[in-house]
Chains A and B, each alone.
Chain A
Amino acid sequence: MRLDIGKMGDHVQKYASDNDMNLKNSFWKKNIRNLPGRASPKKESKSVSSSASTSFDDFQESVSDAWEIEAEDEILRISARECANSAHPPASSCYRNRFPYDVKISKRVAHSAAVNVINNHKASIEEIHKSKNYSNSDLQGESSSQTYKESRHTENRINFSNSEVDTNKLTKFQVLLESNLLQLEDLKKLSWSGVPVEVRPMTWRLLAGYLPTSSERRQQALDRKRIDYANLVKQYYDTDKDEVYKDTYRQIHIDIPRMSTPLFQQTTVQEMFERILFIWAIRHPASGYVQGMNDLVTPFYVVFLQEYLPIGTNIEKLDVSSISKKNRDSLEADSFWCLSKFLDGIQDNYIFAQLGIQYKVNQLKELIQRIDGTLHGHLMKHGIDYLQFSFRWMNNLLTRELPLRCSIRLWDTYLAESDCFATFQLYVCAAFLLHWRQELLEEKDFQGLMIMLQNLQTQNWTDTDISLLVAEAYRLKFTFADAPNHLTTKR
């Protein structure tokens, strides 16, 4: 079956949801290695170069005719803007610069990869047309202050409104979640571009591998896990704390009260966080508690909290102790287990000397050097060390750099990436850095650069910005992960 990607992206609503899923399935199955969420399995090995062309060729073959048939203006405009947003040089020159030695990766293929991702993200991209931020570049002067105020207003509020998400998409989720035997891969594909708020708690549980895919076993598993957690609390937390754990407890106790916003200042909430983190730390002695982990609980906590509230509740005004004890216990247990699953893939970030992060920071540096020599040279010239700014990006998975609502959207994608999100995160960080390219190039000294890098202005960001960010990250990964002289092959 030939798949017309251009059409699929543009007329996605016209397909009956089943039909659409089939189309997507057949497409994705064919290019299984390029699925967002799954790194090419050979990527880390040294035999990369030989396999690289194969996967690119596969991809090219599967999409090239679709690309030629339906090169909609609109799509092109979006991807061009996306390019402009991340401030790349015009495509014609940028790929030549980046691949002085490689002719296999044509501009068209790389471009179509990006477009393909964006098409799949149609739902969120559509939001662009509504969003004032993007509606018109020449409007910016006037409207930006207004947009700023609006988002200020909603800053501490988790967006419950579903206006940004295609209702069609919600239906697809519901169909999937209600099926007797869920295909996790289908759920990942669908989730990668963002999960509607109504189905997010259940979707996250499944994506995290916390719940079984068989729908009839789900409730049973959930009940058991919640009891397991209650037992852990009894075993480790309610008893006298072992001397060796006192340090851990002390550190958690120093960090939790420093969580800002009224919600997290509530004693009930702080105690829940303390238990989650303490028990996690005890059960993971190789890493233990590391400052910043509290920020990694937050998205789970907030998403699961939403389950017990009517849609549209402003959680910042919520008194969490008004939720029943039973529900609070469930919320805490779910947050704990999902955090555990989530951190499993990135434990080396938190072990002694944080080698995982040091390694990734190096990878980021090599990657930027390859993608954008100008920016890299600029940073080097002014004595900026990647560790100085990207350590926090990696340690906290960008939670410190983004508003909470954006972190939650980003985690839709991370969770859909499953075991490989650690790798994907590298590309997200790269895309994030490149996003600020122009502003950074305008800074002319170390101090200006450092201060900017520590305070990147994302407070107005919406789901759309994250969709563009991950699409760009995906494009970078697709373009660079398998390319010859891959960064890891240098080692």
Chain B
Amino acid sequence: MGTGDEEYDYLFKVVLIGDSGVGKSNLLARFTRNEFNLESKSTIGVEFATRSIKVNKKIIKAQIWDTAGQERYRAITSAYYRGAVGALLVYDIAKQLTYQNVERWLSELRDHADQNIVIMLVGNKSDLRHLRAVPADEATAFAEANNLSFIETSALDSTNVETAFENILTEIHRKVSARQMDSMDGDEIDKVCMKPIRIDATTANTNDSAAFQIKQFCCNASA
């Protein structure tokens, strides 16, 4: 099975979390395959997909882990937060409870994810206007207070799906570049130029699965 787009400058691991049924798998399907399915089965454990996009002239490959929403799977799925540099925390705008649970998901992330993880709050199913249970400005205020970015999407009619992923990947890219600049003083630049930088220490055991891997950063920059 060809995986295509092998060339990339950055590889970012992103997780999709949130209550069961909010539409995580469909957001992923929409973003990676442009598909939507009303009868998509529940996710068991985790599922994986990738897509590369261009941000600031750099090719960013997003390695996206879709997790199962049910509480029972938490023990399994939280293992996948490790090494993630971004998280899309999804709720369903038509289901108040899934929004209330956002707090719990945030604390899950605090417990299991890298502290620098970029989090985006996503209110999905924006097409269900007539059923809206969570006002957009309430979620905006909550996101601001908690230092998260926020967007409403619809996996069904595609609204904002592309934008949501683009935004979070751009944000991650910005953060990574800044951190990289910070750490580059004098001699260190040479070292960085020699090999890819791995910012995440926990999963950096193989080339492929390293979550936070930056290829050719300096070489490209100096070219």
Shortest CB–CB separation between residue A283 and chain B, in angstroms? 17
Contacts of B205 on A, CB cut-off 8 Å?
Answer: 383
On whether the beta carbons of B68 and A291 are closer than 8 Å, the reply is yes
* Complex partner residue of A291 from B50, B70, B75, CB under 8 angstroms: B70
User: Is B56 located at the chain interface by the 8 A CB criterion?
Assistant: no
* Contact indicator A446/B208 (Cβ below 8 Å): yes
Task: Tell me if A381 counts as interface (CB < 8 A to partner B).
Answer: yes
Q: Decide if B181 is an interface residue (CB 8 Å cutoff).
A: no
Q: Is B76 within 8 A of A382, CB to CB?
A: no
B116 interface contact, C-beta 8 A: no
Determine whether B115 belongs to the interface, using a CB cutoff of 8 Å to chain A.
Answer: no
- Does B201 belong to the interface (CB within 8 Å)? no
Stretch at the interface among A215-223, A384-392, A424-432, A465-473: A384-392
**How far in angstroms is the closest Cβ of chain A from B195?**
18
B46→A451 contact, CB < 8 A? no
CB distance from A99 to the nearest CB of B (A): 30
Complex partner residue of B72 from A354, A358, A383, CB under 8 angstroms: A354
The answer to the question of A179 belonging to the interface, with a C-beta cut-off of 8 Å to chain B, is no
Docked pose: A243 CA to B208 CA in angstroms:
46
Tell me which residues from 63 to 98 in chain B have a Cβ below 8 Å from any Cβ of chain A: 63, 68, 70-73, 75-76, 79
Of residues 390 through 412 on chain A, the ones whose CB sits less than 8 Å from some CB of chain B are: 391-392, 395-396, 400
- A290-334 interface with B by 8 A CB criterion: 290-292, 294-295
Say whether chain B's binding surface is mostly helix, strand, loop, or mixed: loop
Candidates B2, B39, B41, B70; contact of A290 at CB < 8 Å: B70
Contact between B42 and A451, CB atoms less than 8 A apart:
no
| In-complex Cβ contact of A447 among B41, B47, B63, B72 (8 A) | B63
> Contact partner of A448 among B1, B76, B209, CB < 8 A?
B1
Q: With A387-B79, A448-B3 in contact, is A288–B72 under 8 Å at CB?
A: yes
Total number of B residues with any Cβ neighbor in A under 8 Å = 33
Contact, CB under 8 Å: B49 / A451: yes
Give the size range of A's interface with the partner: 35 or more
CB distance from B128 to the nearest CB of A (A): 15
Q: Indicate if the CB atoms of A254 and B39 lie closer than 8 Å.
A: no
Q: Which residues in B have their C-beta under 8 angstroms from that of A384?
A: 209
Closest to A260 in B: B39
Give the complex CA separation of A448 and B208 in angstroms: 10
Complex: A257 Cα to B21 Cα, angstroms: 11
Cα–Cα distance between A455 and B223 once the two chains are bound (Å): 40
Cα–Cα distance between A400 and B47 once the two chains are bound (Å): 13
Q: In angstroms, how far is the closest chain A Cβ from the Cβ of B204?
A: 10
Prevailing SS type, chain A contact patch:
helix
How many A-B residue pairs have C-beta atoms within 8 angstroms? Tell me: 95
Instruction: Please state if A454 and B47 are interface contacts (CB–CB under 8 Å).
Output: yes
Q: Is the CB of B39 within 8 A of A265?
A: yes
> Are A383's CB and B209's CB within 8 A?
yes
Quick one: given A260-B39, A291-B73, A354-B76, are A381 and B206 in contact (CB under 8 Å)? yes
Given A292-B44, A445-B3, CB of A350 within 8 Å of CB of B39: no
B40: A residues at CB distance < 8 A: 258
Q: Which of B1, B20, B50 has the most CB of A within 10 A?
A: B1
Contact between B72 and A388 (Cβ–Cβ < 8 Å)? no
- Asked if A254 contacts B20 (CB within 8 A), the reply is yes
Beyond A251-B70, A292-B42, A445-B3, whether A451 also contacts B208 by CB under 8 A is no
B40-59 interface bits toward A, Cβ cutoff 8 Å, 1 = contact, 0 = none: 11111111111000000000
Give every chain B residue within 8 A of A265 (Cβ-Cβ). 39
Known: A254-B21, A258-B39, A448-B3. Is A395-B44 also a contact (CB below 8 A)?
yes
Given A251-B70, A291-B70, A391 and B76 contact (CB-CB distance below 8 Å): yes
Which residue in B41, B48, B50 is a CB contact (below 8 Å) of A259?
B41
Name A254's closest neighbour in chain B (CB-CB): B21
Please determine whether A387 and B45 come into contact, CB atoms closer than 8 angstroms.
yes
Q: Is the CB of B48 within 8 A of A350?
A: no
Are A383 and B206 closer than 8 Å at their CB atoms? yes
A353 interface contact, C-beta 8 A: yes
Given contacts A388-B48, A443-B1, contact A290 B209 (CB under 8 A): no
Question: Considering the chains assembled together, what is the distance between the CA atoms of A455 and B33 in angstroms?
Answer: 14
A 255-303 contacts with B by CB, 8 A: 255, 257-260, 265, 288, 290-292, 294-295
Is A452 in the interface zone, CB < 8 Å from B? yes
Distance of B24 from chain A, by nearest CB (Å): 12
Complex formed: what's the CA distance from A384 to B205 in Å?
Answer: 11
Residues of A within 8 A of B43 (CB): 291
Contact across chains for A447 and B3 when beta carbons are under 8 A apart: yes
CB of A450 closer than 8 Å to a CB of B: yes
| Nearest opposing residue in chain A for B210, CB measure | A383
B72, A350: Cβ atoms closer than 8 Å: yes
In the complex where A291-B72, A354-B75 touch, is A451 in contact with B3 (Cβ < 8 A)? Answer: yes
Other-chain contact of A258, B6, B42, B45, B49 (Cβ < 8 Å): B42
- Please indicate the chain B residues that have their CB under 8 angstroms from the CB of A260 in the complex: 39, 41
Q: Which of A223-254 contact B (CB under 8 A)?
A: 247, 251, 254
If A290-B72, A354-B76, A396-B44 are given as contacts, then 5 extra A-B residue pairs at C-beta distance below 8 Å, sorted by A number, are A247-B71, A259-B39, A292-B44, A384-B209, A447-B48
- Give me the interface of B with A, judged by CB distance under 8 Å: 1-3, 6, 20-21, 39-50, 63, 68, 70-73, 75-76, 79, 205-210
What 7 pairs between A and B have smallest CB-CB spacing? A383-B209, A446-B208, A383-B206, A391-B45, A254-B21, A353-B75, A260-B39
12 inter-chain pairs at a CB distance below 8 angstroms, sorted by A residue, are A251-B70, A254-B42, A290-B70, A291-B68, A295-B41, A350-B72, A353-B76, A354-B76, A383-B206, A383-B207, A447-B48, A454-B48
